[in-house]
Structure 1
Amino acid sequence: MPEIGAHQLEVVETLIGVGRFLVIFVAARLLAELLVRWQLPTILGELIAGVIVGASGLHLIVPPETQAAVANWALQLMGSLADVPPQLVGEVYNESFPSLQAVATLGLFALLFLTGLESDLDELVAVGAQAITVAVAGVAVPFALGTAGLMAIFHVEVIPAVFAGAAMTATSIGITASVFGELKMLRSREGQIVIGAAVLDDILGIVILAVVVSIAGGGSLELGPILKLLAAAVVFVVAAIGLSRTAAPGFDWVIDRLKAPGDVVVASFVVLTLCCFAATAIGLEAALGAFAAGLILSKSNHTHAIEAAVKPVVALFATIFFVLIGTGMDLSVLNPLDPDNRAGLVIAAFLLVVAILGKVVSGWTFLSKEPTNRLVVGLGMMPRGEVGLIFLGLGTQAKLLSPALEAAILLMVIGTTFLAPILLRLVLAGKSDGPDLDPLAEIPT
């Protein structure tokens, strides 16, 4: 790197850092506002914004691992403002990118913490065996069919196939609850089963995520380590659920005695970081620790204050996480005119079909003496939303996925997230159980 003055280097780093945030937040907000007006989840807008400004679009935010170059005019602009050569700006850009990824990781942990915090464990108990059956089937069927199909039909290697299968297990509580809330169906039997199953599905999905990422890091599928990791993940989540009854009062006692501003958010993030540290220390993914931290504090008397404090953090930093997922997507692999892409498109179609059928059939896996619209239950479990994007983001960061498989998973997540609200509205049109102000309808999507 050519020698430059300390002040020039500081100016370059500041321009790059501020410029990235400006591009990310403006693009994400514009697309989110557009999709909200179409009654679609804002996270899709953030993802599309990332695609537009990233390696498949304007090349303004380009992760170094994509091997794509930042737009030359942007480098020249920042170089002229700092009075340094454009190539030097590019070098500083690549060297400083991990700091942006660290901020995005904070957004991921905050989002998972909020998901755990808003998981209503009592709801799961209320709907009983039906919700458990739907959740287990909604995880097992797409995971088994997706993994086996990728290996048998498309000859994908074991670990990428397992990860892709795991990505199809997700269910977005926020998207489903929002649609049921808009249609005033959350208090219906179908609504209770879906929300209860989605709570358990989140727990199962995060456990699978932790196990798969840990296995992928070791590059092995030996039975002993798998059972050890699975047992550790289950014990970790069960302990978190137990601590939600016993540790939350202690947390409340501490909060009630703190006087300095920011007491709730700082204390909450102390619990969050402790759980992430504990999960990492026993060989699990830190993401599981973040989710467990939310479960632990879900029974706190200060839950609403914690949500109010954490949601702005999620709104800012989770936005960066989702935009960065889009920036790294190489959507050129979806071009059907290129013969090299056709195999990837076939994989994408396969994943989308399995992802839809795997969740829809879960609506027919439980016994019920009362009339129940099983199609509504299955469709309610279908959207992958932010949870599916979390899987994809971690798989991308771990470099487990080929460009074709990465794009196929992305297409599956987008497809199920777009289709589920539309199909639910069609099936539930004209049906309502009256005013319904369930707080789950406020979960951010």
Structure 2
Amino acid sequence: MTLPSLLLEAGSHQLEMAETLIGVLRFLLIFLAARTLAEVLVRFQLPTILGELLAGVIIGVSGFHLLVPPESQVAINESFVQLISSLADVPAPEIQQLYNEDFLILEGVANLGLYALLFLTGLESELDELVAVGAQAFTVAVAGVVLPFALGTIGLMVLFQVDLIPAVFAGASMTATSIGITASVFGELGYLKTREGQIVIGAAVLDDILGIVILAIVVALGAGGSLEIGPILKLVAAAVVFVVAAIALSRSAAPAFDWVIDRLKAPGEVIVASFMVLAVVMFAATAIGLEAALGAFAAGLILSSSKHTHAIQRAVIPIVSLFATIFFVLVGAGMDLSVVNPADPANRAGLVMAGFMFVVAIIGKVAAGWSFLSDKPTNRLVVGLGMMPRGEVGLIFLGLGTASGLLTPSLEAAILLMVVGTTFLAPLLLRVVLKDKDPGADSGDGSSTPQPEAQLTA
């Protein structure tokens, strides 16, 4: 082997070592920060998801810059770069490039956690209960989309003289409900299978569908394109057919799945077969223009009638506990809270708009809890609060608006603070409202009697 080839091989080995070090240290930071804060919050009877989001804030863009999404344009912590550079003997500028490339892998792992969480949510949903509250969930979803969208858009135009397109985009960002955060909080509090939990989960799924349509319209407006009713109607029809098909398949496909499982002998047959169903349904959702997250929830619904449901739950829960933690830490890591500094005059306009949007975002979703008729006692405040967190869905709207150049810095800051505020406040308020409630008893306060369920520990 020649000297140049030896040098090239040595350089390649150093780069691989640097990439490995980045990945290992990042995983270590994520789990150390997340589990430390989760342990602290559990002792104060607060949801662990809040600790995971806070962990992301502390080590992310707003904190020590140890976990920095490439799109944030924030420099990585210099000490972190120098540590990797010295250990792997790789120049510091190359560490930044390796860091960005490796971050895409981390996001893929985080998405696996989200999809597993939504799959588990669908799996633990009582389909009969979900169908039974279908009318209420639909009403809550529509009200939870229309109210914040209309109030936000009109308020921004009238009170803050925001142009039509940016105001519509900001209003659209308030329509979202983070089904991942909602499912995690309700699962952890033991309310996933209550009447309130089923209404919220059903409404959050419908929110996702309505959000896809709104997003398509807003993006078309922002791009200066013409709004054609045909593609929009096709998207709505695809979403309706997809959800109806998932409910129908839960009756017919689960027995076939059980037949296959009963004939498999290799270890891990339950989890492997389950994730194959998950992948197929997510692929189908994406292929017809829907969100993969909606497909993950639908896959859980399809297998919810399987006789192997409890075995699937036992297999999936550790995956959720591990990888959903990464997802929620990344959500927190991407939040830039420097815009909340009122000492900077450039931030003040955004803070005023943020206060308006935050209030509207809360009122719009909480009011949705009173938008439906029911002959059974239901805790409407719990329903409204469960619809409040915008989470990663709101951040997606913000990212699209920023990338398209539609938003001013003040409006970007306002949307970010609205998303951050509702994401952090909802778990706290739900914990306060439900701290003295027993989800296993029909106490007359609106909680329905659930079946025993596996806890979601994101």
Structure 1 position 418 matched with structure 2 position 428: yes
Whether contact under 8 Å (2:137, 2:203) holds in the other structure is: no
Q: 1:178 to 1:290 in 2, by over 3 A?
A: closer
SS of the aligned residue for 2:278 comes to helix
The percent of aligned pairs where both chains have the same amino acid is: 54
Whether contact under 8 Å (2:176, 2:394) holds in the other structure is: yes
Q: 1:250 to 1:413 in 2, by over 3 A?
A: same
SS of the aligned residue for 1:5 comes to helix
Cross-structure match for 2:176: 167
Whether contact under 8 Å (1:348, 1:412) holds in the other structure is: no
Instruction: Render the CA deviation track for 1:395-417: whole Å, top value 9, x for unaligned.
Output: 35656573542232121221233
Structure 1 position 306 matched with structure 2 position 312: yes
Alignment of 1:74-89 (within 5 A): 74-89=80-95
Within the candidate set 384, 390, 411, 2:392 is matched to 390
Structure 1 CA distance for aligned equivalents of residues 303 and 153 of structure 2: 35
Instruction: Tell me the CA shift for residue 222 of structure 1.
Output: 3.9
Within the candidate set 426, 442, 445, 2:455 is matched to 442
| Matched letter for residue 175 of structure 2 | A
Cross-structure match for 1:293: 299
Q: 1:139 to 1:157 in 2, by over 3 A?
A: closer
Greater mean alpha carbon deviation, residues 307-316 or residues 143-152 = 143-152
Whether contact under 8 Å (1:330, 1:407) holds in the other structure is: no
SS of the aligned residue for 2:25 comes to helix
Q: 1:158 to 1:306 in 2, by over 3 A?
A: farther
Whether contact under 8 Å (1:271, 1:293) holds in the other structure is: yes
SS of the aligned residue for 1:394 comes to helix
Instruction: Tell me the CA shift for residue 51 of structure 1.
Output: 0.9
Alignment of 1:11-410 (within 5 A): 11-126=17-132, 133-150=139-156, 152-154=158-160, 155=162, 157=166, 160-168=169-177, 172-176=182-186, 179=189, 192=195, 194-215=196-217, 219=223, 221-367=227-373, 372=377, 376-384=379-387, 388-395=390-397, 398=400, 402-410=412-420
Q: 1:312 to 1:226 in 2, by over 3 A?
A: same
Whether contact under 8 Å (2:205, 2:294) holds in the other structure is: no
| Matched letter for residue 432 of structure 2 | I
Whether contact under 8 Å (1:162, 1:212) holds in the other structure is: no
Instruction: Tell me the CA shift for residue 244 of structure 1.
Output: 0.8
Greater mean alpha carbon deviation, residues 339-348 or residues 23-32 = 339-348
Structure 2 CA distance for aligned equivalents of residues 228 and 153 of structure 1: 36
Instruction: Tell me the CA shift for residue 256 of structure 1.
Output: 1.0
**What number of residue pairs does the alignment pair up?**
431
Structure 1 consecutive aligned stretches of length 4 or more whose deviation exceeds 6 Å: 434-437
Whether contact under 8 Å (1:63, 1:327) holds in the other structure is: yes
- TM-score scaled by structure 2? 0.83
Q: 1:158 to 1:121 in 2, by over 3 A?
A: farther
Instruction: Tell me the CA shift for residue 441 of structure 1.
Output: 7.3
Structure 1 CA distance for aligned equivalents of residues 346 and 118 of structure 2: 37
Whether contact under 8 Å (2:144, 2:175) holds in the other structure is: no
SS of the aligned residue for 2:386 comes to coil
| Matched letter for residue 210 of structure 1 | I
Structure 1 gaps of 5+ residues are none
SS of the aligned residue for 1:108 comes to helix
Instruction: Tell me the CA shift for residue 213 of structure 1.
Output: 4.7
Instruction: Tell me the CA shift for residue 289 of structure 1.
Output: 1.5
Q: 1:81 to 1:147 in 2, by over 3 A?
A: same
Structure 2 CA distance for aligned equivalents of residues 425 and 107 of structure 1: 27
Structure 2 CA distance for aligned equivalents of residues 73 and 225 of structure 1: 50
Structure 2 CA distance for aligned equivalents of residues 12 and 169 of structure 1: 35
Structure 1 CA distance for aligned equivalents of residues 437 and 305 of structure 2: 35
Greater mean alpha carbon deviation, residues 162-171 or residues 415-424 = 162-171
Instruction: Tell me the CA shift for residue 239 of structure 1.
Output: 0.8
Cross-structure match for 2:3: none
SS of the aligned residue for 1:123 comes to helix
Instruction: Render the CA deviation track for 1:142-183: whole Å, top value 9, x for unaligned.
Output: 3443444445544261663254122258682453465575xx
Whether contact under 8 Å (1:279, 1:289) holds in the other structure is: yes
Structure 2 CA distance for aligned equivalents of residues 16 and 399 of structure 1: 31
Whether contact under 8 Å (1:176, 1:381) holds in the other structure is: no
Structure 2 gaps of 5+ residues are 1-6
Instruction: Tell me the CA shift for residue 356 of structure 1.
Output: 2.8
Greater mean alpha carbon deviation, residues 130-139 or residues 35-44 = 130-139
